[in-house]
Amino acid sequence: MDLNQIVADLGLFLPEIILTGVVLLVVLYDLFQDAEHSIRSGYLAMGGLVLTLLAVLMQDTSAPTGIFSNMLAVDGFSNFLKVIVSIGAILVMWMSFNSNELKGRRVGEYYVLILVLTLGMYFLVSATHLLSIYISLEMVSLMSFLLSGYLKEQMRSNEAAIKYVVFGAFSSGILLYGFSLLYGLTGSTSIFEIQAALAAGNVQPALLLMVLVMVLVGFGYKIAAVPFHFWTPDVYEGAPVPITAFLSVAPKAAGFAIIIRFFNVVFSGDGNPNMEAWSALENLNWQAVISLLAILSMTVGNVIAIQQSNIKRMLAYSSIAHAGYMLLGVVVADQTGIAAILYYAGVYMLMNLGAFFVAIHVKNAFDTEEIEEYKMLGYKAPVLGVIMTIFMFSLTGLPPTGGFIAKFYIFRSLIEYGDMYFWLAIIGLINGVISLYYYMRVVKAMYFGKMELPERIHQAPLNVTVLLVILALPLLLGWMIGDPLSGYAQSAVHFFVN
Amino acid sequence: MDHLSSYLVLSAILFSLGLYTVVTRKNGVAILMGVELILNAANINFVAFSKFVTHTLDGHLISVFIIMLAAAEAAVALAIVLNLYNNRGHINVDEANALKQ
């Protein structure tokens, strides 16, 4: 590895360089703003992120490459997820401009932290080395801790942060210990070399099982899968709502990216994920372990969500359940399965951000987070009511919304995969029915009940309405205009393989 | 002490102590110390494997990065614990239960 190679690789590193530049620029710019105008730093940060997104979109990923001695991979898969997390971050910034929670405080560093979190996710989705995986995971975690505790005089936000730190630091410690043992077992730190060492077959399966359970603790915490989910409800309830929305979407997608990449490369390494790959290591039935996690996540998430009265907590548990649906795709882990996960991640971002954004606006306008208090919202604020109904339908997975198509792809990949996994799809469907109950409870509160028509119709500000329509329309129209996202997701299943 | 196994035993003991500390302690700072023990257990593993198994500098390099990240994590975590103290007058993680279970 010579200097020329590093310089040549910088060209493929352009989005990250731009984003780093934007971070530094916003930090500097914020120094010259007084507290009441610090929102300007937010606008600058959002502009910079749009620029970065353009750089990501323009990147040519037709030939997957590893950069910086295979520390990072630049391929279709990482590119797709970078697009998703950038769009998520842009939308969250947009919503943060309208959030009452952040009014009247200095917000420059809030936007800087979101930018760094996004940069961490850029690294996480492309990491192919134990060191780069660990560093990017920590980068995402540390920024998430800080952001969830951003309202520092509020007890709730504070408590969310402390719980998040304790769980996060603990799981990443376990992950790291697993990595250190993996390094000892295989003698290498690049996941490609680890794969080669495992394929040579001199590793004891029992030790490997222990290592991989440890690794799964670290990754499972990031995607909030049961049984590593205990932090989720408290953090989601206590954190500022835009941050809750962001945490439930972007780091989760990035966590799935690293799970897929890590297991795909370590267990197959031929670039075309296929089912035989999983049985490459005998005595290690990974599909069974991940199936179990998926079933637990779906069921526990959905059943506990039923009992929640706070909309943020309800959405927190529902996000655990959605992690379960996506894990079903990881069980398959072939071309269609991974495309289904990517598609699901895209649709889930739209609908979950949307649901949280309605919750933010309802909190701004009516100062409540209780589902019961949403009563008559459909009449008090007709636009919000209709849009929230679309998000709830989509989260349940009812046709003709995007949520239905996303679930359809996941279940289809399971059924095509083999008869053995038919029952997993059935469990997924049953869980869909359970989730109908609590999502529809919101719709019921909004439209049905004692009729006393409100005197005044509440109008959401124009930019909030525009944002919500931008989120809701693709969910409705994707069905009719031939679903470009699906084709994009399918073409994105390209991994860099050394 | 020229055997790999003695280093591994040391790191396993550190790891277990760290795990025990995290699970049993209520004090926020004590929990963080437990996490540091786990990280250092991993560090010992990396350096020992690097010296005895691979004979390269990879493991040493990684452990330097881990020390740096542990410092960053401690800075963030202590800031949050300090904030808890400012709000509540104690750093007892168990009693942070304003959010319902």
Q: Do B96 and A159 touch (CB under 8 A)?
A: yes
Count structural domains, chain A: 1
Residues in chain A: 498
- Kindly tell me if the per-residue pLDDT of A493 is higher than 90: no
- The pLDDT value recorded for residue A113 is 95
Question: For A162-186, what is the mean pLDDT?
Answer: 92
pLDDT digits over A399-452, tens only? 888 888 888 889 988 888 877 788 888 999 999 999 999 999 888 888 887 766
Q: Is residue A206 part of a domain?
A: yes
The closest CB to that of A169, out of B42, B49, B77, belongs to: B77
Q: Is residue A403 part of a domain?
A: yes
Q: How confident is the model at residue A1 (pLDDT cuts 50, 70, 90)?
A: low
Q: Is residue A432 part of a domain?
A: yes
Which domain, by its residues, includes A177?
A: 3-491
- A474 preceded by cis ω (within 30°)? no
Q: Is residue A475 part of a domain?
A: yes
Measuring CA to CA, which residue among A298, A299, A285 is closest to residue A326? A298
Q: How far is A156 from chain B (nearest CA, A)?
A: 7
Q: Do A134 and B87 touch (CB under 8 A)?
A: no
Cβ-contact A98, A461 below 8 angstroms = yes
- The pLDDT value recorded for residue A271 is 44
Q: Is residue A496 part of a domain?
A: no
Tokens at residue A84, please?
């998703």
Q: Do B84 and A169 touch (CB under 8 A)?
A: no
Instruction: Please name each of the domains of chain B with its CATH number.
Output: 4-90 (1.10.287.3510)
Q: Is residue A267 part of a domain?
A: yes
pLDDT digits over A319-343, tens only? 999 999 999 888 887 788 888 899 8
- A15 preceded by cis ω (within 30°)? no
**Touching check for A135 and chain B: CB below 8 Å?**
yes
Q: Which residue has the higher pLDDT, A76 or A272?
A: A76
Residue A99 CA to residue A360 CA, distance in Å, equals: 7
Q: Do A159 and B99 touch (CB under 8 A)?
A: yes
Q: Is residue A497 part of a domain?
A: no
- The pLDDT value recorded for residue A483 is 67
B73: which chain A residues are within 8 Å (Cβ-Cβ)? 138, 142, 169
Q: Do B83 and A149 touch (CB under 8 A)?
A: yes
ipTM of the complex: 0.94
Alpha carbon B25 to its chain's center? 14
**Touching check for A130 and chain B: CB below 8 Å?**
yes
Alpha carbon B29 to its chain's center? 12
Q: Is residue A82 part of a domain?
A: yes
- The pLDDT value recorded for residue A481 is 55
Q: Which residue has the higher pLDDT, A263 or A306?
A: A306
Interface test with B, best of A165, A172, A185 (most B CBs within 10 A): A165
- The pLDDT value recorded for residue A45 is 94
